[in-house]
Chain A
Amino acid sequence: MRGSRRFAWTLAAPSLIGLVLVSVVPIVFMARTAFQKFSPNPRVPPRWAGLDNFWALLDDPQFLGAISVTGILLVVCLTLQLSIGFALAWALYHIKRGRAVVISLLLIPTAIAPLIAGIVWWMLFNTRFGAVNAVLGGALGIEPIQWTITMPYALIAIIVATVWQTVPFVAVILLGGLTTIPEEVLDASKVDGASRWRELRYIVLPLLKPFFLVSSLFMVIDLLRLYELPQFLTTGGPGNETVVTGMYLFKLGFTFFDLGRASMMSLLYVIVLTCIGLLFVRLMRQSTP
């Protein structure tokens, strides 16, 4: 019909302009401020600094520390999220009654604000009044652990809380994937005498690959944006040993007020996230024929 395309573009235009406003505009703006040196006095105009901010970041032990903490979290959490997520999805797939109720209950942690998740786990991990030490002490006779203020316990606390909040989401995506596998595929393999393990390894897991990729993408982005949960669980402590990249970006910008260096870090963030997005799009294309 004539005029259709014009109508469609008119409808889409406000959204597209809006998206440009909240993405392209800050990124272009940042591409300038990342190469400037800002004075703590807002009246003094920033001056051109070339790549100074970039080199300063590479020389900054706190920045490198934040990257290694985030790296550890990425590896450990992603492993736990995918393995526990799959175990839950596999279990959910095999129960006949009560699946809807169990999923509703499982999803509650994902609906809680990351800020509140951080605060609640901070209460639970409290040395004297927290439930974690009470349970460990009561059941296993373990001496109280100073969770949020000693290493490696602070990092373990963050991992536990992060996995608690994100695993149900992975489980639901993988369960959705399992339901797309025709039942005959699984039945046929049983008649062939394939053991349960081989059925999993050679039939189920390969078919779920795109679903594992989607959950990984969501989890990686979620882990890179981590801020509230560690901020309110350990506040980066002990020392700066659990400061993740999101927290350090905040610190650079709004505690140290080094807007140039913070812009450079933001720019690196956007570049890394874009690369990860593109990588996953490629992987998805390869795994879905």
Chain B
Amino acid sequence: MTSISDVRRPTGVRARPTSFLFRLKTCWPWLILLPFLVFALFPVYWIILTAFRPRSDIFQSPVDLLPTNLTLDNIRYVWFGSEANAPVVNFLGTSLIIGVVATVFALLLGVTCAYAVGRFRIGGSFLPAFILSFRYVPPIALIVPFWMLFRALGLLDTYTGLILIYGLFSIPLIFWLLLGYVEAAPRDLEEAAYVDGASHWKAMIHIALPVLAPGIAIAAVFTFIGIWNEFVLAYQLAGNKVATITVYLPRLRTAIAELYGEIAAASLLAVLPGIFFAAIMQRFLVRGLAFGGLK
């Protein structure tokens, strides 16, 4: 079949598949993707490289972009602590405790809320929009009143305070991720259970929630990473007795010397959960985020 576009093109292009034009036609996406991949991943490479470099290599001029000497010293100083810095383990532990407890707390609230709204259509079209609108207000906009309220309530620098605020702030995200799952899940099974005399609670716990499990898992990962990476609330509402990994990192910079290697080593430990998450979540992200975003 000949079309106008075929006529316009020199016919030789198709006949010789190895020609430059043919290559450009099939490989052009990589001309965009490869340079950007280098840009996207170079800082990650730099964290890893600096984390395993001896001090003399970090502070050398001209800069060596490739690994020559490698050492575990930075990781060891950060993990066990040194004269200049506290051991990172306690901070990782605090982040882990707060992240897990707040995620569970947020899931208990957010999942049931999404189920109630998605299944029983309470509050019409207003309620979902109302809950989602909370995503537009970031913590930094409310940090001043939060701090004043926390001071008045004696919640500053406590596990309870941080867990409470992280948990409640995560509800809209969980709601947003799960609403689509609830609406897509078939309701026949629950209807059948009602006919058999099951209560709403039983039908939800034994029939609906297992179906929603994949969505709940994704929501849990998103929530956990968000809390793990958070700095503003962790620093201002806590940060002394209750100090997370994000509060630990800047402390390495205010020390007498700029502890580049230690900072990189601690950063590496702090970004591992996120990188793991990016690796396992891409399949969902492409489909889920685009559609969920339009809700």
Contacts and interface: CB of A to CB of B under 8 A. Distances in A.
Given A108-B40, A276-B136, 5 more contacts: A15-B112, A104-B279, A109-B43, A137-B62, A250-B140
Given A12-B122, A103-B285, A108-B278, A27 B63 contact: no
Chain B interface category by residue count: 35 or more
B33 A102 contact: yes
Given A214-B293, A214-B294, A26 B63 contact: no
B3 A106 contact: no
Please list the 5 inter-chain residue pairs (A to B) with the smallest Cβ-Cβ separation, ordered nearest first: A176-B290, A111-B274, A113-B229, A8-B120, A193-B4
A267 B250 CA distance: 29
Interface string A200-221: 0000000000110011001001
Interface in B177-233: 194, 200-201, 204, 225, 228-232
Interface stretch (A55-63, A84-92, A149-157): A84-92
Interface string A149-190: 000000000000000100111001101110110000000001
Chain A interface category by residue count: 35 or more
Interface of B: 3-5, 28-30, 32-33, 36-37, 39-44, 46-47, 50, 58-63, 65, 109-110, 112-113, 115-117, 119-120, 122-123, 127, 129, 131, 133-149, 165, 167-169, 171-172, 175, 194, 200-201, 204, 225, 228-232, 236, 246, 249-250, 253, 260, 263-264, 267, 270-271, 274-275, 277-279, 281-283, 285-287, 289-291, 293-294
Contact of A30 (B145, B279, B282): B145
A187 to B, nearest CB: 11
Contacts of A8: 116-117, 119-120, 122
A19 B134 contact: yes
Contacts of B137: 23, 270, 273-274
B282 A103 contact: yes
Given A8-B119, A16-B113, A115-B231, A191 B3 contact: yes
Contacts of A106: 36-37, 40
A47 interface: no
Contacts of B274: 108, 111-113
Given A12-B116, A129-B61, A164 B39 contact: yes
20 contacts: A12-B112, A15-B112, A15-B131, A18-B167, A29-B148, A33-B148, A94-B29, A95-B29, A100-B283, A112-B271, A115-B229, A128-B61, A131-B42, A173-B293, A227-B232, A232-B250, A266-B143, A270-B141, A273-B141, A288-B294
Contacts of A225: 138-141
A255 to B, nearest CB: 12
B40 A119 contact: no
B32 A88 contact: yes
A246 interface: yes
Contacts of B3: 190-191, 193
Interface in A1-43: 1, 3-5, 7-9, 11-12, 14-16, 18-19, 21-23, 25-27, 29-30, 33
A18 B138 contact: no
A224 interface: yes
A220 B80 CA distance: 41
B136 A273 contact: yes
A3 B293 contact: no
A253 B290 contact: no
Of the listed residues A16, A214, A276, the one surrounded by the most CB atoms of chain B closer than 10 A to its CB is: A16
Nearest to A271: B141
Contact of B285 (A25, A91, A107, A164): A107
B63 A129 contact: yes
B133 A277 contact: yes
Contacts of B175: 15
Interface string A126-159: 0011110111010000000000000000000000
A221 B138 CA distance: 8
Contacts of B140: 225, 227, 246, 249-250, 269
Given A115-B249, A123-B264, A210-B294, A253 B144 contact: yes
A262 interface: yes
Contacts of B287: 176, 179
A211 B33 contact: no
A23 B117 CA distance: 20
B117 A262 contact: no
B227 to A, nearest CB: 11
A77 interface: no
A5 B290 contact: no
Contacts of A190: 3, 5
A95 B30 contact: yes
Contact of B250 (A33, A104, A115, A273): A115
Given A116-B271, A262-B144, A277-B133, A105 B37 contact: yes
Contacts of B42: 124, 131
A253 B143 contact: yes
A228 B134 contact: no
A263 interface: yes
Contacts of B204: 11
A173 to B, nearest CB: 5
B278 A107 contact: yes
Given A173-B293, A221-B138, A259 B144 contact: yes
